[in-house]
Structure 1
Amino acid sequence: MSDLLNAPERGAIESFLIRQKPADGPAPTFERLLGFLSGVVITPGGITPSDWMQPLLEFNAIVFKDTDDATRFMDQLMPLYNRLNDMRLRNENLCPFDWREMTDLDKAHQQASDWGIGLHDALRLRPEIWAPEKHEARHVPVKLLDEMQHTMAFIWAIADPGSVPHIVPDPVPFQRNFLGKAPGWKEEMIRTSWDDELVEMFRLLCLSRLSSSADTLQRYAKAYDVGTRAGSAKPQTAPAKLRVGRNDPCPCGSGVKYKKCCGR
Protein backbone atom coordinates (compact mmCIF):
# COMPACT_ATOMS: atom_id res chain seq x y z
CA MET A 1 0.00 0.00 0.00
CA SER A 2 1.33 3.43 -0.94
CA ASP A 3 2.79 5.70 1.73
CA LEU A 4 0.18 8.26 0.68
CA LEU A 5 -2.47 6.23 2.49
CA ASN A 6 -0.34 6.42 5.63
CA ALA A 7 0.67 10.06 5.26
CA PRO A 8 1.70 11.86 8.47
CA GLU A 9 -1.36 14.09 8.16
CA ARG A 10 -3.84 11.23 7.98
CA GLY A 11 -4.60 10.96 11.70
CA ALA A 12 -5.26 14.66 12.18
CA ILE A 13 -7.37 14.92 9.02
CA GLU A 14 -9.44 11.86 9.94
CA SER A 15 -10.02 13.15 13.47
CA PHE A 16 -11.47 16.26 11.84
CA LEU A 17 -13.54 14.37 9.27
CA ILE A 18 -15.10 12.04 11.83
CA ARG A 19 -16.81 15.05 13.40
CA GLN A 20 -18.57 15.89 10.15
CA LYS A 21 -22.20 14.77 9.97
CA PRO A 22 -23.55 15.32 6.43
CA ALA A 23 -27.31 15.76 6.23
CA ASP A 24 -27.42 13.17 3.46
CA GLY A 25 -24.86 10.92 1.83
CA PRO A 26 -21.77 9.25 3.30
CA ALA A 27 -19.32 10.96 5.63
CA PRO A 28 -16.14 12.32 3.98
CA THR A 29 -13.06 10.11 4.03
CA PHE A 30 -9.33 10.66 3.87
CA GLU A 31 -9.18 8.69 0.61
CA ARG A 32 -11.74 10.95 -1.06
CA LEU A 33 -9.78 14.05 -0.05
CA LEU A 34 -6.58 12.40 -1.26
CA GLY A 35 -8.19 11.61 -4.62
CA PHE A 36 -9.44 15.18 -4.93
CA LEU A 37 -6.02 16.67 -4.22
CA SER A 38 -4.48 14.23 -6.71
CA GLY A 39 -6.87 15.45 -9.40
CA VAL A 40 -6.07 19.06 -8.55
CA VAL A 41 -2.30 18.67 -8.93
CA ILE A 42 -2.65 16.55 -12.09
CA THR A 43 -4.77 19.14 -13.91
CA PRO A 44 -2.71 21.08 -16.50
CA GLY A 45 -2.16 24.76 -15.85
CA GLY A 46 -2.67 24.35 -12.13
CA ILE A 47 -5.71 25.09 -9.96
CA THR A 48 -4.97 27.52 -7.16
CA PRO A 49 -6.15 26.75 -3.60
CA SER A 50 -8.57 29.67 -3.83
CA ASP A 51 -10.26 27.83 -6.72
CA TRP A 52 -10.32 24.30 -5.32
CA MET A 53 -10.84 24.79 -1.58
CA GLN A 54 -14.52 25.73 -1.69
CA PRO A 55 -15.47 22.84 -4.03
CA LEU A 56 -13.56 20.44 -1.77
CA LEU A 57 -15.59 21.61 1.21
CA GLU A 58 -18.88 21.44 -0.70
CA PHE A 59 -18.28 18.00 -2.25
CA ASN A 60 -17.46 16.59 1.19
CA ALA A 61 -20.05 18.57 3.18
CA ILE A 62 -17.28 19.91 5.45
CA VAL A 63 -18.25 22.62 7.91
CA PHE A 64 -15.86 24.47 10.24
CA LYS A 65 -16.77 25.41 13.79
CA ASP A 66 -14.76 28.61 13.63
CA THR A 67 -11.73 30.24 12.00
CA ASP A 68 -9.27 28.37 14.23
CA ASP A 69 -10.89 25.09 13.22
CA ALA A 70 -10.44 25.96 9.54
CA THR A 71 -6.81 26.96 10.12
CA ARG A 72 -5.98 23.68 11.86
CA PHE A 73 -7.54 21.74 8.97
CA MET A 74 -5.59 23.71 6.37
CA ASP A 75 -2.37 23.24 8.33
CA GLN A 76 -2.75 19.49 7.76
CA LEU A 77 -4.17 19.58 4.24
CA MET A 78 -1.57 21.80 2.57
CA PRO A 79 1.48 19.62 3.39
CA LEU A 80 -0.39 16.69 1.83
CA TYR A 81 -1.17 18.81 -1.23
CA ASN A 82 2.50 19.84 -1.51
CA ARG A 83 3.66 16.23 -1.20
CA LEU A 84 1.38 15.20 -4.06
CA ASN A 85 2.62 18.07 -6.20
CA ASP A 86 6.23 17.06 -5.55
CA MET A 87 5.39 13.52 -6.66
CA ARG A 88 3.81 14.87 -9.84
CA LEU A 89 6.91 16.91 -10.61
CA ARG A 90 8.97 13.72 -10.22
CA ASN A 91 6.60 11.95 -12.64
CA GLU A 92 5.52 9.47 -9.95
CA ASN A 93 2.16 7.74 -10.28
CA LEU A 94 -0.25 9.34 -7.80
CA CYS A 95 -2.51 6.31 -7.44
CA PRO A 96 -1.94 5.02 -3.89
CA PHE A 97 -3.21 1.48 -4.48
CA ASP A 98 -1.17 -1.61 -5.24
CA TRP A 99 -3.57 -4.53 -5.43
CA ARG A 100 -0.75 -7.03 -4.95
CA GLU A 101 -0.33 -5.74 -1.40
CA MET A 102 -4.01 -5.74 -0.45
CA THR A 103 -5.13 -8.26 2.17
CA ASP A 104 -8.60 -6.93 2.97
CA LEU A 105 -10.10 -6.56 -0.50
CA ASP A 106 -13.49 -5.28 0.67
CA LYS A 107 -11.83 -2.46 2.60
CA ALA A 108 -9.44 -1.77 -0.28
CA HIS A 109 -12.30 -1.60 -2.79
CA GLN A 110 -14.13 0.94 -0.61
CA GLN A 111 -10.99 3.05 -0.18
CA ALA A 112 -10.25 2.91 -3.90
CA SER A 113 -13.85 3.88 -4.69
CA ASP A 114 -13.57 6.90 -2.41
CA TRP A 115 -10.26 7.89 -4.03
CA GLY A 116 -11.81 7.58 -7.50
CA ILE A 117 -14.81 9.68 -6.45
CA GLY A 118 -12.51 12.39 -5.12
CA LEU A 119 -10.45 12.30 -8.31
CA HIS A 120 -13.62 12.64 -10.37
CA ASP A 121 -14.74 15.58 -8.23
CA ALA A 122 -11.52 17.45 -9.01
CA LEU A 123 -11.50 16.68 -12.74
CA ARG A 124 -15.02 18.10 -12.99
CA LEU A 125 -13.59 21.52 -12.13
CA ARG A 126 -11.95 21.76 -15.57
CA PRO A 127 -14.26 20.04 -18.11
CA GLU A 128 -12.64 21.99 -20.96
CA ILE A 129 -9.43 20.06 -20.24
CA TRP A 130 -10.72 16.61 -19.27
CA ALA A 131 -13.72 16.45 -21.61
CA PRO A 132 -12.54 18.56 -24.56
CA GLU A 133 -13.84 18.61 -28.07
CA LYS A 134 -11.17 17.10 -30.31
CA HIS A 135 -10.40 20.45 -31.92
CA GLU A 136 -9.70 21.87 -28.46
CA ALA A 137 -6.89 19.38 -27.85
CA ARG A 138 -5.28 19.22 -31.28
CA HIS A 139 -1.85 19.51 -29.69
CA VAL A 140 -2.33 16.15 -27.89
CA PRO A 141 -1.49 13.01 -29.90
CA VAL A 142 -4.73 11.39 -31.11
CA LYS A 143 -3.87 8.02 -29.58
CA LEU A 144 -3.25 9.58 -26.16
CA LEU A 145 -6.43 11.66 -26.39
CA ASP A 146 -8.47 8.52 -27.14
CA GLU A 147 -6.76 6.70 -24.27
CA MET A 148 -7.59 9.56 -21.91
CA GLN A 149 -11.24 9.58 -22.95
CA HIS A 150 -11.55 5.85 -22.25
CA THR A 151 -9.88 6.41 -18.89
CA MET A 152 -12.33 9.19 -18.02
CA ALA A 153 -15.14 6.72 -18.68
CA PHE A 154 -13.61 4.33 -16.13
CA ILE A 155 -13.30 7.12 -13.54
CA TRP A 156 -16.89 8.16 -14.21
CA ALA A 157 -18.07 4.57 -13.71
CA ILE A 158 -16.33 4.44 -10.31
CA ALA A 159 -17.85 7.74 -9.19
CA ASP A 160 -21.33 6.92 -10.49
CA PRO A 161 -21.92 3.19 -11.11
CA GLY A 162 -25.48 3.94 -12.21
CA SER A 163 -24.03 5.64 -15.30
CA VAL A 164 -22.39 2.43 -16.59
CA PRO A 165 -25.25 1.56 -19.01
CA HIS A 166 -24.88 5.05 -20.48
CA ILE A 167 -21.09 4.86 -20.69
CA VAL A 168 -21.07 1.35 -22.17
CA PRO A 169 -24.48 0.75 -23.79
CA ASP A 170 -23.66 -2.79 -24.93
CA PRO A 171 -22.52 -5.11 -22.09
CA VAL A 172 -21.71 -8.05 -24.36
CA PRO A 173 -18.10 -7.09 -25.32
CA PHE A 174 -17.26 -6.53 -21.66
CA GLN A 175 -18.48 -10.01 -20.79
CA ARG A 176 -16.65 -11.68 -23.65
CA ASN A 177 -13.38 -9.81 -23.20
CA PHE A 178 -13.13 -9.94 -19.43
CA LEU A 179 -15.61 -12.33 -17.85
CA GLY A 180 -14.95 -14.82 -20.62
CA LYS A 181 -11.50 -15.47 -19.14
CA ALA A 182 -12.94 -16.71 -15.85
CA PRO A 183 -12.96 -20.48 -15.17
CA GLY A 184 -16.29 -22.08 -15.93
CA TRP A 185 -17.57 -19.18 -18.01
CA LYS A 186 -19.73 -20.17 -20.98
CA GLU A 187 -21.02 -18.20 -23.95
CA GLU A 188 -24.64 -18.93 -22.99
CA MET A 189 -24.08 -17.00 -19.76
CA ILE A 190 -23.96 -13.71 -21.66
CA ARG A 191 -26.54 -11.11 -20.64
CA THR A 192 -27.68 -8.63 -23.27
CA SER A 193 -28.56 -5.87 -20.83
CA TRP A 194 -26.95 -4.47 -17.71
CA ASP A 195 -28.06 -5.60 -14.26
CA ASP A 196 -26.71 -4.79 -10.79
CA GLU A 197 -24.32 -7.72 -10.78
CA LEU A 198 -22.80 -6.83 -14.15
CA VAL A 199 -22.47 -3.18 -13.16
CA GLU A 200 -20.62 -4.19 -9.99
CA MET A 201 -18.28 -6.40 -12.03
CA PHE A 202 -17.55 -3.51 -14.37
CA ARG A 203 -16.89 -1.20 -11.43
CA LEU A 204 -14.42 -3.71 -9.97
CA LEU A 205 -12.65 -3.82 -13.33
CA CYS A 206 -12.35 -0.02 -13.28
CA LEU A 207 -10.95 -0.14 -9.73
CA SER A 208 -8.36 -2.71 -10.74
CA ARG A 209 -7.16 -0.27 -13.43
CA LEU A 210 -6.81 2.79 -11.21
CA SER A 211 -3.02 2.81 -11.37
CA SER A 212 -2.94 2.65 -15.16
CA SER A 213 -5.77 5.21 -15.28
CA ALA A 214 -3.75 7.63 -13.16
CA ASP A 215 -0.74 7.05 -15.42
CA THR A 216 -2.81 7.89 -18.50
CA LEU A 217 -4.22 11.06 -16.91
CA GLN A 218 -0.76 12.22 -15.89
CA ARG A 219 0.71 11.57 -19.35
CA TYR A 220 -2.22 13.38 -20.99
CA ALA A 221 -1.89 16.31 -18.58
CA LYS A 222 1.80 16.66 -19.38
CA ALA A 223 1.20 16.56 -23.15
CA TYR A 224 -1.71 19.00 -22.84
CA ASP A 225 0.31 21.42 -20.73
CA VAL A 226 3.42 21.32 -22.93
CA GLY A 227 1.35 21.68 -26.11
CA THR A 228 -0.66 24.57 -24.70
CA ARG A 229 2.43 26.50 -23.64
CA ALA A 230 4.11 25.84 -26.98
CA GLY A 231 1.03 26.95 -28.89
CA SER A 232 0.66 30.15 -26.89
CA ALA A 233 4.28 31.20 -27.26
CA LYS A 234 4.71 33.91 -29.86
CA PRO A 235 7.61 33.45 -32.26
CA GLN A 236 10.50 35.73 -31.52
CA THR A 237 11.48 38.08 -34.34
CA ALA A 238 14.80 39.87 -34.74
CA PRO A 239 14.58 43.63 -34.18
CA ALA A 240 14.34 45.59 -37.41
CA LYS A 241 17.58 47.21 -38.46
CA LEU A 242 17.58 51.00 -38.31
CA ARG A 243 18.09 52.53 -41.74
CA VAL A 244 18.90 56.26 -41.66
CA GLY A 245 20.16 58.38 -44.54
CA ARG A 246 23.40 60.33 -43.90
CA ASN A 247 21.62 63.66 -44.39
CA ASP A 248 18.58 62.65 -42.23
CA PRO A 249 18.18 63.97 -38.68
CA CYS A 250 20.02 61.73 -36.24
CA PRO A 251 17.61 59.36 -34.45
CA CYS A 252 19.28 60.22 -31.14
CA GLY A 253 17.26 63.46 -31.12
CA SER A 254 20.20 65.85 -31.23
CA GLY A 255 18.76 67.78 -34.20
CA VAL A 256 22.05 67.36 -36.07
CA LYS A 257 22.36 65.43 -39.35
CA TYR A 258 23.14 61.77 -38.89
CA LYS A 259 26.49 62.08 -40.79
CA LYS A 260 27.71 64.75 -38.34
CA CYS A 261 26.46 62.96 -35.20
CA CYS A 262 26.11 59.23 -34.49
CA GLY A 263 26.89 58.35 -38.14
CA ARG A 264 30.45 59.71 -38.03
Structure 2
Amino acid sequence: MPPQTKLPPYLRQLERVLARLETAMLLSELDGFLAGVVVCPEMILPSEWLPVALDPDEEGDLVLEHENDARLILRHYNTVLRDLDRGRYAPLFDIDTRHGEVLWELWIEGFERAMALRPEAWDSFLLDPDEAVLRALVGLRKLVAMTDAPPDSSDELGALLTQTAPDIIPDWVQTLHAERLSNDMDQFSNAPAQSTKVGRNEPCPCGSGKKYKKCCGMN
Protein backbone atom coordinates (compact mmCIF):
# COMPACT_ATOMS: atom_id res chain seq x y z
CA MET A 1 0.00 0.00 0.00
CA PRO A 2 1.19 3.59 -0.21
CA PRO A 3 3.71 4.63 2.45
CA GLN A 4 1.97 5.15 5.75
CA THR A 5 2.65 8.90 5.71
CA LYS A 6 0.44 9.16 2.63
CA LEU A 7 -2.52 7.38 4.20
CA PRO A 8 -5.40 9.53 5.47
CA PRO A 9 -5.54 9.72 9.27
CA TYR A 10 -8.59 7.47 9.48
CA LEU A 11 -6.78 4.76 7.52
CA ARG A 12 -3.75 4.96 9.79
CA GLN A 13 -6.14 4.59 12.71
CA LEU A 14 -7.91 1.69 11.00
CA GLU A 15 -4.57 -0.01 10.33
CA ARG A 16 -3.71 0.18 14.03
CA VAL A 17 -7.14 -1.14 15.00
CA LEU A 18 -6.85 -4.12 12.66
CA ALA A 19 -3.41 -4.95 14.02
CA ARG A 20 -4.73 -4.75 17.59
CA LEU A 21 -7.65 -7.05 16.88
CA GLU A 22 -5.27 -9.75 15.57
CA THR A 23 -8.13 -11.83 14.14
CA ALA A 24 -9.19 -9.10 11.69
CA MET A 25 -8.02 -8.70 8.11
CA LEU A 26 -4.96 -6.56 7.44
CA LEU A 27 -5.59 -3.24 5.71
CA SER A 28 -4.67 -4.33 2.18
CA GLU A 29 -6.74 -7.50 2.51
CA LEU A 30 -9.67 -5.53 3.92
CA ASP A 31 -9.48 -3.09 1.01
CA GLY A 32 -9.69 -5.94 -1.49
CA PHE A 33 -12.52 -7.53 0.48
CA LEU A 34 -14.56 -4.31 0.51
CA ALA A 35 -13.96 -3.77 -3.21
CA GLY A 36 -15.32 -7.27 -3.82
CA VAL A 37 -18.36 -6.61 -1.64
CA VAL A 38 -19.13 -3.41 -3.56
CA VAL A 39 -18.62 -4.93 -7.01
CA CYS A 40 -20.51 -8.16 -6.31
CA PRO A 41 -23.58 -8.41 -8.60
CA GLU A 42 -25.69 -9.32 -5.57
CA MET A 43 -26.03 -6.95 -2.63
CA ILE A 44 -24.33 -8.10 0.57
CA LEU A 45 -25.46 -6.37 3.75
CA PRO A 46 -22.97 -5.18 6.39
CA SER A 47 -24.54 -7.56 8.91
CA GLU A 48 -23.10 -10.38 6.81
CA TRP A 49 -19.73 -9.06 5.69
CA LEU A 50 -18.66 -7.11 8.79
CA PRO A 51 -18.14 -10.21 10.95
CA VAL A 52 -16.01 -11.70 8.18
CA ALA A 53 -13.86 -8.57 8.07
CA LEU A 54 -13.35 -8.68 11.84
CA ASP A 55 -12.63 -12.40 11.95
CA PRO A 56 -12.62 -14.34 8.64
CA ASP A 57 -12.41 -17.69 10.44
CA GLU A 58 -15.41 -17.14 12.68
CA GLU A 59 -19.10 -16.96 11.89
CA GLY A 60 -21.77 -15.12 13.82
CA ASP A 61 -23.04 -11.69 14.71
CA LEU A 62 -20.85 -8.69 15.29
CA VAL A 63 -20.00 -8.40 18.98
CA LEU A 64 -20.72 -5.12 20.70
CA GLU A 65 -17.12 -4.61 21.81
CA HIS A 66 -16.20 -4.10 18.12
CA GLU A 67 -18.82 -1.42 17.49
CA ASN A 68 -16.34 1.47 17.27
CA ASP A 69 -13.97 -0.58 15.13
CA ALA A 70 -16.83 -1.44 12.81
CA ARG A 71 -17.52 2.26 12.26
CA LEU A 72 -14.01 2.72 10.85
CA ILE A 73 -14.47 -0.26 8.55
CA LEU A 74 -17.81 1.08 7.37
CA ARG A 75 -16.18 4.44 6.71
CA HIS A 76 -13.63 2.79 4.46
CA TYR A 77 -16.39 0.80 2.74
CA ASN A 78 -18.11 4.08 1.89
CA THR A 79 -14.81 5.49 0.63
CA VAL A 80 -14.26 2.48 -1.65
CA LEU A 81 -17.83 2.79 -2.94
CA ARG A 82 -17.45 6.52 -3.58
CA ASP A 83 -14.14 6.10 -5.39
CA LEU A 84 -15.53 3.33 -7.59
CA ASP A 85 -18.58 5.45 -8.42
CA ARG A 86 -16.25 8.27 -9.46
CA GLY A 87 -13.95 5.98 -11.44
CA ARG A 88 -11.04 6.80 -9.14
CA TYR A 89 -10.54 3.60 -7.15
CA ALA A 90 -6.91 2.93 -6.17
CA PRO A 91 -6.28 -0.36 -4.32
CA LEU A 92 -4.26 -0.27 -1.10
CA PHE A 93 -1.43 -2.60 -2.01
CA ASP A 94 1.41 -3.46 0.35
CA ILE A 95 4.84 -2.32 -0.76
CA ASP A 96 8.14 -4.16 -0.31
CA THR A 97 10.23 -1.03 0.13
CA ARG A 98 13.46 -3.01 0.23
CA HIS A 99 12.99 -4.46 -3.25
CA GLY A 100 10.57 -1.87 -4.62
CA GLU A 101 7.88 -4.46 -5.34
CA VAL A 102 4.12 -4.03 -5.14
CA LEU A 103 2.63 -6.92 -3.18
CA TRP A 104 -0.86 -7.34 -4.59
CA GLU A 105 -1.42 -10.88 -3.31
CA LEU A 106 -2.91 -9.93 0.07
CA TRP A 107 -5.36 -7.57 -1.65
CA ILE A 108 -6.53 -10.30 -4.02
CA GLU A 109 -6.99 -12.69 -1.08
CA GLY A 110 -9.42 -10.19 0.41
CA PHE A 111 -11.22 -9.91 -2.92
CA GLU A 112 -11.46 -13.70 -3.02
CA ARG A 113 -13.12 -13.75 0.41
CA ALA A 114 -15.78 -11.37 -0.89
CA MET A 115 -16.37 -13.55 -3.95
CA ALA A 116 -16.80 -16.56 -1.66
CA LEU A 117 -19.79 -14.87 0.02
CA ARG A 118 -21.79 -15.07 -3.24
CA PRO A 119 -19.85 -17.47 -5.51
CA GLU A 120 -22.68 -18.07 -7.99
CA ALA A 121 -23.63 -14.40 -8.32
CA TRP A 122 -20.35 -13.59 -10.06
CA ASP A 123 -21.24 -15.89 -12.94
CA SER A 124 -23.79 -13.31 -14.07
CA PHE A 125 -20.87 -11.30 -15.47
CA LEU A 126 -20.20 -14.21 -17.84
CA LEU A 127 -23.52 -13.52 -19.54
CA ASP A 128 -22.36 -10.10 -20.65
CA PRO A 129 -21.31 -9.85 -24.30
CA ASP A 130 -18.78 -7.13 -23.51
CA GLU A 131 -15.31 -8.63 -23.85
CA ALA A 132 -13.89 -6.17 -21.31
CA VAL A 133 -16.26 -7.48 -18.63
CA LEU A 134 -15.40 -11.11 -19.39
CA ARG A 135 -11.69 -10.33 -19.42
CA ALA A 136 -11.95 -8.56 -16.08
CA LEU A 137 -13.74 -11.43 -14.36
CA VAL A 138 -11.54 -14.15 -15.84
CA GLY A 139 -8.43 -12.12 -15.05
CA LEU A 140 -9.36 -11.59 -11.41
CA ARG A 141 -10.20 -15.25 -11.01
CA LYS A 142 -6.85 -16.12 -12.53
CA LEU A 143 -5.09 -13.92 -9.96
CA VAL A 144 -7.08 -15.59 -7.19
CA ALA A 145 -5.97 -19.00 -8.43
CA MET A 146 -2.36 -17.82 -8.61
CA THR A 147 -2.29 -16.96 -4.90
CA ASP A 148 -3.11 -20.61 -4.13
CA ALA A 149 -0.75 -22.09 -6.72
CA PRO A 150 1.90 -19.73 -8.15
CA PRO A 151 2.43 -20.21 -11.91
CA ASP A 152 5.30 -22.38 -13.06
CA SER A 153 7.92 -21.27 -15.55
CA SER A 154 5.86 -22.52 -18.51
CA ASP A 155 2.83 -20.40 -17.60
CA GLU A 156 3.55 -17.31 -19.66
CA LEU A 157 0.18 -15.74 -18.88
CA GLY A 158 0.71 -16.23 -15.17
CA ALA A 159 4.16 -14.67 -15.33
CA LEU A 160 2.78 -11.69 -17.24
CA LEU A 161 -0.07 -11.21 -14.77
CA THR A 162 2.33 -11.33 -11.85
CA GLN A 163 4.19 -8.35 -13.29
CA THR A 164 1.19 -6.34 -14.46
CA ALA A 165 -1.33 -7.15 -11.68
CA PRO A 166 -0.88 -3.84 -9.77
CA ASP A 167 -1.72 -1.89 -12.94
CA ILE A 168 -4.60 -3.99 -14.27
CA ILE A 169 -6.43 -4.81 -11.03
CA PRO A 170 -7.86 -1.26 -10.67
CA ASP A 171 -9.08 -1.29 -14.29
CA TRP A 172 -10.69 -4.71 -13.93
CA VAL A 173 -12.45 -3.80 -10.70
CA GLN A 174 -13.66 -0.54 -12.20
CA THR A 175 -14.97 -2.40 -15.27
CA LEU A 176 -16.98 -4.85 -13.18
CA HIS A 177 -18.35 -2.05 -11.01
CA ALA A 178 -19.54 -0.15 -14.08
CA GLU A 179 -21.24 -3.30 -15.35
CA ARG A 180 -22.92 -3.90 -12.00
CA LEU A 181 -24.26 -0.34 -12.00
CA SER A 182 -25.51 -0.78 -15.55
CA ASN A 183 -27.33 -3.99 -14.60
CA ASP A 184 -28.87 -2.30 -11.57
CA MET A 185 -30.18 0.52 -13.76
CA ASP A 186 -31.60 -1.97 -16.26
CA GLN A 187 -33.45 -3.82 -13.51
CA PHE A 188 -34.82 -0.55 -12.18
CA SER A 189 -36.02 0.62 -15.60
CA ASN A 190 -37.62 -2.76 -16.34
CA ALA A 191 -39.47 -2.92 -13.03
CA PRO A 192 -43.26 -2.96 -13.48
CA ALA A 193 -44.86 0.39 -12.81
CA GLN A 194 -47.11 0.61 -9.78
CA SER A 195 -50.75 0.98 -10.69
CA THR A 196 -52.26 4.31 -9.74
CA LYS A 197 -55.83 3.20 -10.41
CA VAL A 198 -58.13 3.84 -7.48
CA GLY A 199 -60.85 1.32 -6.62
CA ARG A 200 -64.43 2.61 -6.76
CA ASN A 201 -65.00 1.85 -3.07
CA GLU A 202 -61.64 3.20 -1.87
CA PRO A 203 -61.27 6.66 -0.27
CA CYS A 204 -60.99 9.36 -2.87
CA PRO A 205 -57.36 10.57 -3.25
CA CYS A 206 -58.57 14.19 -3.22
CA GLY A 207 -58.96 13.93 0.56
CA SER A 208 -62.70 14.58 0.74
CA GLY A 209 -63.29 11.50 2.88
CA LYS A 210 -65.90 10.18 0.43
CA LYS A 211 -65.61 7.00 -1.59
CA TYR A 212 -64.04 7.51 -5.00
CA LYS A 213 -67.24 6.45 -6.83
CA LYS A 214 -69.21 9.17 -5.05
CA CYS A 215 -66.60 11.88 -5.50
CA CYS A 216 -64.08 12.35 -8.29
CA GLY A 217 -65.12 9.00 -9.77
CA MET A 218 -68.45 10.53 -10.75
CA ASN A 219 -66.74 12.87 -13.28
Shorter-chain TM-score category? 0.5 to 0.7
Q: Distance in 2 between matches of 1:144 and 1:108?
A: 27
Q: Corresponding residue for 1:153?
A: 141
Larger radius of gyration: 1
Q: Corresponding residue for 2:209?
A: none
Q: Distance in 2 between matches of 1:59 and 1:159?
A: 17
Q: What runs of 5+ residues in structure 1 fail to find an aligned partner?
A: 166-170, 179-201, 241-250, 255-260
- TM-score, normalised to structure 2's length? 0.68
Q: Distance in 2 between matches of 1:121 and 1:3?
A: 25
Structure-2 change in CA distance of 1:71 and 1:124 (3 Å): same
Task: Please give the residue correspondences for 1:159-198 in structure 2 after superposition, counting only pairs within 5 Å.
Answer: 159-161=147-149, 164=151, 172=154, 174-175=155-156
Q: Corresponding residue for 2:11?
A: 10
Q: What runs of 5+ residues in structure 2 fail to find an aligned partner?
A: 198-211
Task: Please give the residue correspondences for 1:43-62 in structure 2 after superposition, counting only pairs within 5 Å.
Answer: 43-59=40-56
| Identity level (%) | 20
183, 192, 205: which one aligns with 2:161 = 205
What secondary structure, in the 3-state scheme, does the structure 2 residue paired with 1:124 have?
helix
Q: Distance in 2 between matches of 1:131 and 1:107?
A: 36
Q: Corresponding residue for 1:130?
A: 122
Q: Corresponding residue for 2:78?
A: 82
Q: Deviations over 1:130-164 (max 9, x none)?
A: 23484xx3xx22413431232123331343235x5
Contact 1:116/1:158 (8 A) holds in 2: no
Q: How many residues align?
A: 200
- TM-score, normalised to structure 1's length? 0.58
Coordinate RMSD, CA, aligned: 4.0
Q: Corresponding residue for 1:257?
A: none
What secondary structure, in the 3-state scheme, does the structure 1 residue paired with 2:106 have?
helix
What secondary structure, in the 3-state scheme, does the structure 1 residue paired with 2:89 have?
coil
Q: Distance in 2 between matches of 1:108 and 1:60?
A: 29
Contact 1:42/1:217 (8 A) holds in 2: yes
Aligned AA for 1:155? L
Q: Corresponding residue for 1:258?
A: none
Structure-2 change in CA distance of 1:61 and 1:212 (3 Å): same
Structure-2 change in CA distance of 1:253 and 1:39 (3 Å): same
Q: Deviations over 1:66-102 (max 9, x none)?
A: 733x12312322222221111112121332459xxx6
Contact 1:16/1:73 (8 A) holds in 2: yes
The CA deviation at 1:208 is 2.8
Structure-2 change in CA distance of 1:213 and 1:109 (3 Å): closer
Q: Is residue 91 of structure 2 the alignment partner of residue 95 of structure 1?
A: yes
Q: Distance in 2 between matches of 1:6 and 1:129?
A: 33
What secondary structure, in the 3-state scheme, does the structure 2 residue paired with 1:131 have?
helix
Contact 1:31/1:114 (8 A) holds in 2: yes
What secondary structure, in the 3-state scheme, does the structure 1 residue paired with 2:171 have?
helix
Contact 1:3/1:96 (8 A) holds in 2: no
Aligned AA for 2:13? A
Q: Distance in 1 between matches of 2:163 and 2:56?
A: 21
